[in-house]
């Protein structure tokens, strides 16, 4: 389980701070993307099922277009979803190493579920497209060729398309369920990292999953994703793709869905922003936290106004502003959380940095490059209270006693390491408690220097 520990490399303080920035960046990419993926998959599956049940063409069309945009290519899912998830797990395993909390386990589980969910969603999109192709080919056969020769093939096609549709529903529903579970575990695990006072060995995956704060954080995430998803869809349909006048009923349908889900989620978000502030541990309260929270509230206020303008009188350019504001809102929300993470884990950071310094010092000593020991420093600090080179103080002048050690360095070293009574005219010299390397250095220094004085 702790195999990630083996990948932990001791980090200096500077590296740890850099890692925190990398973590924030990974979260700014990962959370909005996975939020949009979750919401659009959910919306798509919902309208797909409802559209087939109540035979609404608009529903099915919207459902298909939505999933085609968000799951446009596998590489996007990989670059914006899976890779940031892996990097944030690695960053956490470095930053929270040797602490009492182990969230990497639940994060790994969430990643695994996410990967399976992504595959199911890709399969969902694929079977959706296949369904349309099959429908199209069937329609053609019925009209163009009547002869009974084709009925066998036709039956096969019908059976295949029924099977395909079943798969489509299954992979869609399971993909969405797994997306919900995996994003929930991600969010509640990350929430756990914010409050070091709650860290203890007793925290297991269950504690992480069944925590009230985790649930609140997740609702915050869902609402923010809903708002961003609706903003992105508005932007895509009316700005990016351009409004097609021949399709106005369909576009009106899309607009209504987006505007109302957007308004409801943006109106509910300030409450969660405030609860989030209240949930911040004492150790993480800072001026920047309050400032950023105020900024985020102002952005939500602006977003509501933009929705109002869009409802009242249609204008293409506003959907773009709305989208930018919602993206920024999401990013700043992540930064708020990471600021409090950064504050509240200062102690953890110091512990890791101190560990690092220790390891470096040990490594240097092993390599024989310990902190350079200077004989002069030792003389100034330890010997000069009782010794001078040319005059006697408490102890004899070095120029009087050192000549007898010429060529007998070992004896001098032995004396300094463990002074024995020498001259009855002096009191005994107290042991200076030096390390062997220090004795070597001071002996070298005084032997070299006494001749020059
Ligand atoms: C608290 C005072 C005191 C300090 C500090 C002190 N010494 Fe001495 N040292 C003496 C005294 C007293 C003697 C004479 C001892 C004797 O003759 O028995 C002495 C003697 C010596 C001698 C001569 C030994 C001999 O063979 O006659 C040397 C060499 C010496 N000290 C080196 C050092 C060095 C190097 C340091 C610093 C690491 C140091 N001492 C720190 C008090 C001190």
Tell which residue, 62, 406, 78, 419, has the closest CA to residue 256: 62
Say whether pLDDT at 146 is over 50. no
Residue 33 pLDDT class (50, 70, 90 cuts): very high
Q: CA-CA distance, 125 to 254, in Å (whole number)? A: 20
CA of 277 to the centre of ligand 1 (A): 65
- Closest-CA residue, ligand 1 atom 39, reads 383
443 lines ligand 1 (CB under 6 A): no
The answer, yes or no, to whether any atom of ligand 1 lies below 6 A from the CB of 396, is yes
Mean pLDDT of the chain: 84
Looking at residue 349, its pLDDT comes to 80
Q: In terms of residues, how long is the chain? A: 453
Closest CA to 182 of 84, 86, 116: 116
**117 and 178 Cβ atoms separated by less than 8 Å:** yes
- Contact yes or no for 242/323 (Cβ under 8 A): no
Are 103 and 209 contacting, i.e. CB atoms less than 8 angstroms apart? no
Region 62-80: mean pLDDT is: 87
Residue 382 burial (10 A CB sphere; 0-12, 13-18, 19+): middle
Q: Is the model more confident about 72 or about 232?
A: 232
Question: Would you state the pLDDT for residue 317?
Answer: 74
Number of Cβ within 10 Å of residue 267's Cβ equals 15
Q: Range with the lowest mean pLDDT among 56-70, 333-347, 369-383?
A: 369-383
* Lowest-confidence segment of 139-143, 263-267, 308-312, 399-403 by average pLDDT: 139-143
Does 286 score more than 80 pLDDT?
yes
Degrees to nearest 5, angle at CA 70 with 334 and 219: 40
Q: What is the pLDDT of residues 109-133, one digit of tens each?
A: 999 999 999 999 999 998 888 887 7
pLDDT at position 140: 53
Can you give the pLDDT at residue 299?
94
Ligand 1 pocket, residue 394 CB under 6 Å: yes
In testing the pocket of ligand 1, which one of 395, 411, 424, 431 has its CB within 8 Å of the most ligand atoms? 395
Is residue 49 over pLDDT 80?
Answer: yes
Ligand 1 pocket test: pick from 374, 387, 427, 442 the residue with the most ligand atoms within 8 Å of its Cβ. 387
Cα separation, 245 vs 240, in Å, equals 15
CB-based contact 238:255 (threshold 8 Å): yes
pLDDT digits (tens, 9 = 90+) for 169-205: 899 999 999 999 999 998 988 888 887 777 777 777 7
How far, in Å, from the CA of 408 to the mean position of ligand 1?
Answer: 17
pLDDT in tens, 245-259: 667 788 888 888 888
d(C-alpha 349, C-alpha 99), whole Å: 10
What pLDDT is recorded for position 366?
Answer: 74
Picking from 61, 75, 71, the residue whose alpha carbon sits closest to that of residue 34 is: 71
C-alpha 202, offset from chain centre: 23
Other Cβ atoms less than 10 A from the Cβ of 41: the count is: 27
What pLDDT does residue 70 have?
Answer: 84
**pLDDT reported for residue 144:** 45
Ligand 1 pocket member 415 (CB < 6 A): yes
Q: Pick the residue with more confidence: 38 or 92?
A: 38
184-194 as b/e: b if 16+ CB within 10 A? bbbbbbbbbbb
The residue that leads in pLDDT, 117 or 366, is 117
Is 80 exceeded by the pLDDT of residue 21?
yes
Confidence (pLDDT) at 1: 44
Q: Determine if ligand 1 sits within 6 Å of the CB of residue 387.
A: yes
pLDDT of residue 315: 65
The single residue listed with the structure tokens 């950071």 is 349
Which protein residue's CA is at the shortest distance from atom 38 of ligand 1? 383
Q: Which of 51-55, 64-68, 116-120: highest mean pLDDT?
A: 116-120
Residue 138 predicted with pLDDT over 90? no
Distant-in-sequence, close-in-space partners of 298: CB < 8 Å, separation ≥ 6: none
* 265 C-beta neighbours (distance < 10 Å), count: 24
Which atom of ligand 1 sits closest to the CA of residue 430? 1
> 380: CA distance to ligand 1 center in Å?
14
Question: Where does residue 102 fall: left (phi above 0), alpha (psi -120 to 50 degrees), or beta otherwise?
Answer: beta
Looking from the CA of residue 402, the nearest atom of ligand 1 is 29
For the CA of 432, the nearest atom of ligand 1: 38
C-beta 389 within 6 A of ligand 1: no
Q: Given the CA of residue 412, which atom of ligand 1 is nearest to it? A: 29
Distance CA 267, CA 227 (A): 10
375 lines ligand 1 (CB under 6 A): no
Which comes out higher in pLDDT, residue 431 or 146? 431
User: Ligand 1 center to residue 448 CA distance, Å?
Assistant: 17
The arithmetic mean of pLDDT across residues 303-331, rounded, is 86
Is the pLDDT at 425 greater than 60, yes or no? yes
User: Residue whose CA is closest, atom 34 of ligand 1?
Assistant: 383
Banded model confidence at residue 397, pLDDT cuts 50, 70, 90: very high
Picking from 17-21, 75-79, 358-362, which range would have the lowest pLDDT averaged per residue? 358-362
For residue 345 the two structure tokens come to 């884990």
Alpha carbons 55 and 48: distance in angstroms, whole number? 10
Q: Residue 371 Cα, ligand 1 centroid: separation in angstroms?
A: 25
Half-sphere exposure of 66 (CA within 13 A, CB side): 29
Give just the sign of the alpha carbon dihedral 434, 440, 445, 450. positive
CA 370 – ligand 1 centroid, Å: 26
Cα of 429 vs centre of ligand 1, distance in Å, is 5
Give pLDDT, residue 133: 79
Binned at pLDDT 50, 70 and 90, residue 143 comes out as very low
The pLDDT confidence band at residue 273, using thresholds 50, 70 and 90, is very high
- With bands split at pLDDT 50, 70 and 90, how would you rate the model's confidence at 17? confident
Nearest CA to ligand 1 atom 6: 383
């Amino acid at each position: 389980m702790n195999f990630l520990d083996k990948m932990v490399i001791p980090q200096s303080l500077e590296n740890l701070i850099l890692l925190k920035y990398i973590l924030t960046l990974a979260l700014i990419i990962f959370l909005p993307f996975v939020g949009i993926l979750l919401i659009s998959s959910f919306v798509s599956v919902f309208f797909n099922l409802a559209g087939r049940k109540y035979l609404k063409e608009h529903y099915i069309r919207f459902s298909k277009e939505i999933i085609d945009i968000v799951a446009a290519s596998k590489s996007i899912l990989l670059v914006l979803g899976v890779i940031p998830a892996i990097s944030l797990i690695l960053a956490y395993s470095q930053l929270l190493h040797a602490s009492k909390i182990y969230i990497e386990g639940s994060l790994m589980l969430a990643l695994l579920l996410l990967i399976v969910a992504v595959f199911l969603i890709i399969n969902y999109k694929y079977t959706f497209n296949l369904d349309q192709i099959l429908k199209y080919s069937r329609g053609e056969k019925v009209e163009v060729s009547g002869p009974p020769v084709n009925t066998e093939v036709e039956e096969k096609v019908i059976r295949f398309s029924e099977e395909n549709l079943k798969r489509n529903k299954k992979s869609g529903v399971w993909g969405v369920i797994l997306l919900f579970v995996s994003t929930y575990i991600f969010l509640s695990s990350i929430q756990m990292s914010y409050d070091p006072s709650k860290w203890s060995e007793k925290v297991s995956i269950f504690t992480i999953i069944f925590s009230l704060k985790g649930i609140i954080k997740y609702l915050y995430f869902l609402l923010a994703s809903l708002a961003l998803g609706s903003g992105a869809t508005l932007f895509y349909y009316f700005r990016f793709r351009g409004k097609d006048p021949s399709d106005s009923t369909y576009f009106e349908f899309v607009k209504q869905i987006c505007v109302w889900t957007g308004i409801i989620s943006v109106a509910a978000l300030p409450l969660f922003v405030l609860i989030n502030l209240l949930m911040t541990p004492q150790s993480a309260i800072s001026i920047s936290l309050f400032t950023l929270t105020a900024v985020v509230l102002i952005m939500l206020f602006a977003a509501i106004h933009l929705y109002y303008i869009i409802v009242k009188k249609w204008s293409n350019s506003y959907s773009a502003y709305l989208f930018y504001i919602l993206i920024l809102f999401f990013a700043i929300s992540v930064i708020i959380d990471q600021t409090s993470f950064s504050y509240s884990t200062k102690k953890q950071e110091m512990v890791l940095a101190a560990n690092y310094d220790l390891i470096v010092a040990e490594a240097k000593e092993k390599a024989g490059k310990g902190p350079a020991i200077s004989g002069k420093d030792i003389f100034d600090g330890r010997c000069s209270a009782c010794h001078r080179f040319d005059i006697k103080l408490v102890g004899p002048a070095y120029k009087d006693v050192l000549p007898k050690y010429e060529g007998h360095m070992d004896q001098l070293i032995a004396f300094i390491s463990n002074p024995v009574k020498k001259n009855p005219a002096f009191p005994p010299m107290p042991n200076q408690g030096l390390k062997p390397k220090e004795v070597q250095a001071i002996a070298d220094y005084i032997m070299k220097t006494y001749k020059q004085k």
